[in-house]
């Protein structure tokens, strides 16, 4: 069953921000019916028992729908269509109010509560009230520590694996010169929706669903707010037992489609001592570079994110989609690392090919100059543009050995340097980013490791 709350949230973003392109007008009209129905439903839920609230609210929504259809009929086809859109909004609001995510989790909560009560007969660590209190405290503390880059404290209540992953993600934010401030955090509801009691206590786990709200702001080093979001959200927090306490081991967004998780990429990350995340949204969307200039906060997507270190330098691999759900949807596979010095702007890419489905030529601005080399075959396959000839000459990858490596292997991978950020990029086309395989990530890593040696990283 689809989550109507999430659906209407997407509608609101598309209609208000224009990110979906066409069709926003009808969605906005539907919201006229959605919001009154939703908030009235929430009020009725507080006043009446379950069966009564469903009967009264459904009867009222039906009455309103009939009245609106009669009014719409007077206005002819356009009037009827206008009212139908409002009616759709009414019933979407009704469904979101009475069959929201937290309502649907009540069965899971009841089952978990019963299992905890049974486990408590043998083990005092299974105390539902104490577990919820511990989870709530961790929830609030993590928001504060994340906002203040307090990785040392995060590691005191998380598993070593998740503590390290959180630390790396905060390091990415720090390299970008950003802070993700979570303010005015409020827990609206929390339910234990899963538990596992094992004979080996170190394998005991429980999961809490949080419904919360916050003023979520992404702020740069100049205190400019790049993006903010105050909409309610739902997350699932997974805890693992450690002695007589419990450690946070994972956080999953309700909007995250777990069926789209790429398990082979997760295995790739683990095998390379790195960490995998399915969906990073636009939190780590770079602002430097020709390719990244297509991105937009609140719209673009970074998915299948893998992060780790090489010689104490942060390395990220991810799929990047500038405009999701666009008719001409196009995605890239990116490897990103910050260099110790700036090289201005440099881009090395395969020359434009007619009707090619494996590459897209990045048009360079007028401040970039094209440079050629003595190797004519390389010039026929690749183009090199840069903003500064001296810094291009100092760029260690522009050497006969590495260029021969690119030419001989022909991996359809381009190179871009934007100041001190290096990107390796490969065009994925319109295929979904979930179909990316670990061999493509491994190929990027192979090229990167050779590049790192040339760059003496």
Interval 197-246: pLDDT, tens = 999 999 999 999 999 999 999 999 999 999 999 988 999 999 999 998 99
Give the per-residue pLDDT at 267: 92
pLDDT higher than 90, residue 41: no
List all residues 6 or more positions away from 156 whose beta carbon is below 8 Å from its beta carbon.
none
Residue 288 CA to residue 420 CA, distance in Å, equals: 9
Tens of pLDDT along 362-378? 889 999 999 998 889 99
The answer to whether residues 291 and 332 touch, using CB atoms and an 8 Å cutoff, is yes
Q: Which residue has the higher pLDDT, 410 or 102?
A: 410
Tens of pLDDT along 91-105? 888 777 776 677 778
Average pLDDT over residues 67-85: 86
Tens of pLDDT along 104-128? 788 899 999 999 999 999 999 999 9
Give the per-residue pLDDT at 25: 60
Give the per-residue pLDDT at 7: 38
Structure tokens at 174: 């720090």
Give the per-residue pLDDT at 278: 87
pLDDT higher than 80, residue 42: no
Give the per-residue pLDDT at 256: 66
Task: Give start and end residues of each alpha helix (H) in 272-399.
Answer: 376-381, 389-394
Q: Which helix (H) or strand (E) holds 209?
A: strand 205-220
Other CB atoms within 10 A of residue 277 CB = 21
Beta strand segments in 24-93, E: none
pLDDT higher than 60, residue 147: yes
């Amino acid at each position: 069953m689809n989550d109507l709350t999430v659906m209407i949230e997407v509608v609101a973003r598309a209609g208000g921000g224009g990110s979906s392109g066409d069709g926003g007008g009808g969605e906005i009209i539907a919201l006229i019916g959605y919001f009154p129905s939703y908030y009235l439903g929430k009020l009725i839920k507080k006043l009446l028992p379950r069966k009564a609230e469903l009967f009264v609210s459904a009867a009222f929504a039906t009455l309103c729908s009939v009245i609106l259809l009669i009014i719409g009929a007077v206005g002819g086809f356009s009037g009827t269509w206008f009212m139908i859109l409002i009616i759709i909004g009414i019933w979407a609001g009704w469904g979101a109010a009475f069959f929201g995510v937290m309502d649907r989790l009540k069965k899971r909560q009841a089952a978990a509560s019963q299992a905890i009560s049974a486990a408590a007969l043998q083990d005092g660590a299974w105390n539902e009230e104490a577990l919820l209190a511990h989870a709530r405290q961790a929830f609030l503390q993590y928001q504060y520590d994340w906002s203040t880059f307090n990785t040392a404290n995060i590691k005191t209540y998380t598993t070593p694996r998740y503590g390290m992953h959180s630390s790396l993600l905060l390091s990415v934010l720090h390299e970008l010169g950003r802070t993700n401030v979570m303010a005015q955090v409020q827990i609206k509801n929390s339910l234990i929706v899963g538990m596992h009691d094992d004979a080996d206590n170190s394998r005991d786990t429980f999961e809490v669903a949080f419904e919360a709200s916050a003023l979520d702001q992404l702020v740069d080093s100049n205190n400019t707010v790049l993006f903010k979001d105050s909409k309610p959200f739902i997350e699932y927090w997974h805890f693992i037992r450690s002695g007589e306490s419990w450690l946070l081991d994972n956080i999953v967004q309700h909007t995250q489609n777990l069926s789209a998780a790429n398990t082979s990429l997760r295995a790739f990350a683990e095998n390379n001592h790195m960490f995998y995340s399915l969906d990073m949204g636009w939190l780590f969307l770079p602002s430097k570079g020709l390719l990244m200039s297509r991105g937009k906060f609140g719209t673009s997507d970074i998915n299948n994110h893998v992060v780790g270190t090489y010689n104490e330098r942060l390395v990220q691999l991810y799929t990047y989609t500038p405009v999701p759900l666009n008719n001409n949807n196009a995605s890239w596979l990116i490897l990103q690392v910050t260099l110790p010095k700036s090289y201005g702007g440099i881009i090395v890419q395969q020359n434009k090919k007619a009707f090619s489905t494996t590459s897209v030529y990045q048009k360079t601005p007028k401040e970039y100059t094209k440079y050629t080399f003595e190797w004519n075959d390389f010039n026929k396959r690749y183009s090199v543009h840069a903003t500064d000839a001296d810094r291009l000459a100092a760029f260690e990858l522009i050497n006969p050995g590495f260029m021969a490596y690119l030419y001989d292997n022909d991996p359809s991978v381009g190179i871009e340097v934007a100041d001190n950020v290096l990107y390796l990029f490969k065009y994925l086309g319109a295929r979904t980013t979930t179909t990316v395989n670990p061999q493509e990530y491994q190929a990027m890593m192979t090229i990167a490791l050779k590049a790192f040696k040339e760059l003496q990283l």
